[in-house]
Structure 1
Amino acid sequence: MAIVLYRSESRGTADHGWLKSRHTFSFANYYCPSRLNFGALRVLNDDYVEPKMGFGTHPHDNMEIISIVLDGQLEHKDSMGTGSIIKKGEVQVMSAGSGVTHSEFNPSSGEPVRFFQIWLFPNKKNVTPRYDQAYFDPADLQNNWQLIISPDGANDSMWIHQDAWLFRGNFEAGQLINYQPKNPENGVFLMVIEGEIEVAGHVLSRRDAVGLTELDGKLPIQIEKESQLLLMEVPMAI
């Protein structure tokens, strides 16, 4: 097994006043040659946006973009004609494909929005841009891997143009849980949203993450404290 640790405090930092962001991988003004991506996973930004502020209209292409709202609301508008508000418990997917412009704002007058912004390299280029949004019942997270993103929309998940899977789960302390990779050649990226776990001989706390490759069978994860986890299985060859 090969292991890469991504400690919370080692992430890149951006503070624009209205936006506070932590970058697991190189992004904008944060550049680290050893942290360009983890296989198909290109961006994982931990964003905080003040009320009535946000990202103006800007372009994307050939990227699968996922937003997971942790608290608050995020208003989305794009060149496809989509206009929507993503709330806590909801997830947004946008295939940028041949090219799309969009904006994202916090529509609240008093509450900040916190969300994960995730980009994955697609396995098909210049596809027709598309948008999707769905609510995922938090009750299904309890002591369970809830499938959010998949290549084929299995089990009411949303699909993307990549052979990748994204799960969330909330687990009680004291459990030993397992994750079985779909493809042994893939890598597994695991982040602790909240809580504390032990995996592959390392203790991970809030916003710590680990990338694991060359897995041999199931990945055991010891839940040390009640934890909220984010897990992505992605191809390493892109």
Structure 2
Amino acid sequence: MATIELDPNVDIRRAEQRFTTDFGWLDSKHSFSFGHHHDPANTHHGLLLVNNDDVVDPGTGFETHPHRDMEIVTWVLQGSLVHQDSTGHNGVIYPGLAQRMSAGTGILHSEKNDSWRLEGEQHRDPVHFVQMWVLPDESGITPGYEQLEIDDALLSGGLVPVASGMDRHDGEAAIRIRNRYAALHAARLRPGQSVELPEAPFLHLFVPRGSVTLEGAGALATGDAVRFTATGGQRVTATEPAEILVWEMHATVAA
């Protein structure tokens, strides 16, 4: 992790600017360099290395594959995602469930859209989710998994701490991540509802669905993102039913 002198900046990235991977069964939009998409000027913002907006067809998904030394948070917007990993954890991730996997020294896992098996042949729906990766404070930690239902908290319309490693969120965040400089917040907003963004050296605002206006910057549509540097405190107001994901980060990836 690194701290540096920063100049205030608000960088709006539109949905159509993202890298795209289309495998037929998978429609994936990447906010940062990912897989064979590489842009040396777009590898991360703050501590956030991956912000993938994925839609997976029913009966398909990611076969067992490895990760290491990464904190992986998955947020489902529609449908359900079946998770299985080599530490023995398995479960179904659905909207309103916060989930984190710590890859640590190494973990194997799979993620499948098994909606037709879970709910019967008449329910063959895609699953839409956002997967986000941040580096842990230290490498070589023991792999782990955590999930918690927070649907009721989201009904408030405010920013809800979803995953955090920051001391000030002790007992407040739904799940813990192994990075003391980072926290993920989420909000579900009805038209006219607004929230105030935290202030931090680095913020990443993503609109996975709906539309909002950002104070001082204007309209944001589904798939749009904003990278804030050395600023914060702006209000985000829904112009239609919307969901937002906000990473608050007090350090950046070391060069």
The answer to whether the superposition gives a TM-score over 0.5 is yes
- Kindly state the Cα deviation for residue 142 of structure 1 after the two structures are TM-superposed: 3.6
Provide the C-alpha distance between the structure 2 equivalents of 1:180 and 1:233, rounded to a whole number of angstroms. 7
1:50-104 Cα shifts (integer Å, max 9, x gaps): 1111111111111000111111111111110112111222122011111111111
- Amino acid in structure 1 at the alignment position of 2:59: K
Question: Would the alpha carbon gap of residues 17 and 210 (structure 1) be closer, same or farther in structure 2, given more than 3 Å must change?
Answer: same
Q: Residues 197 and 225 of structure 1 are in contact (CA less than 8 Å); yes or no, is this contact kept in structure 2?
A: no
Question: Would the alpha carbon gap of residues 82 and 48 (structure 1) be closer, same or farther in structure 2, given more than 3 Å must change?
Answer: same
Provide the C-alpha distance between the structure 2 equivalents of 1:175 and 1:51, rounded to a whole number of angstroms. 33
1:190 equivalent among 196, 200, 205: 205
- Amino acid in structure 2 at the alignment position of 1:235: H
Provide the C-alpha distance between the structure 2 equivalents of 1:98 and 1:218, rounded to a whole number of angstroms. 37
Q: Percent identity?
A: 35
| 1:28 alignment counterpart | 35
Matched ranges for 1:136-175 at <5 A? 136-138=150-152, 140-151=154-165, 153-162=170-179, 163-175=181-193
Provide the C-alpha distance between the structure 1 equivalents of 2:214 and 2:100, rounded to a whole number of angstroms. 30
- Kindly state the Cα deviation for residue 176 of structure 1 after the two structures are TM-superposed: 5.2
Q: Are 2:43 and 1:43 aligned? A: no
Q: Write 1 or 2 for the structure with the bigger share of strand.
A: 1
Q: When the two structures are aligned, how many residues end up with a matched partner?
A: 234
The more displaced of 70-79 and 27-36 is 27-36
- Specify the SS of the correspondent of 1:31: coil
Q: List runs of 5+ in structure 1 lacking aligned partners.
A: none
- Amino acid in structure 1 at the alignment position of 2:205: L
- Specify the SS of the correspondent of 1:47: strand
- Amino acid in structure 2 at the alignment position of 1:86: I
- Specify the SS of the correspondent of 2:211: strand
| 2:248 alignment counterpart | 233
Q: Residues 79 and 101 of structure 1 are in contact (CA less than 8 Å); yes or no, is this contact kept in structure 2?
A: yes
| 1:9 alignment counterpart | 16
TM-score (norm 1): 0.91
Cα-Cα RMSD? 1.8
TM-score (norm 2): 0.85
Which 4+ residue blocks in structure 1 deviate beyond 6 angstroms? none
Q: List runs of 5+ in structure 2 lacking aligned partners.
A: 1-7, 117-123
2:217 equivalent among 186, 195, 201: 201
Matched ranges for 1:34-183 at <5 A? 34-109=41-116, 110-138=124-152, 140-151=154-165, 153-162=170-179, 163-175=181-193, 177-181=195-199
Provide the C-alpha distance between the structure 2 equivalents of 1:192 and 1:76, rounded to a whole number of angstroms. 24
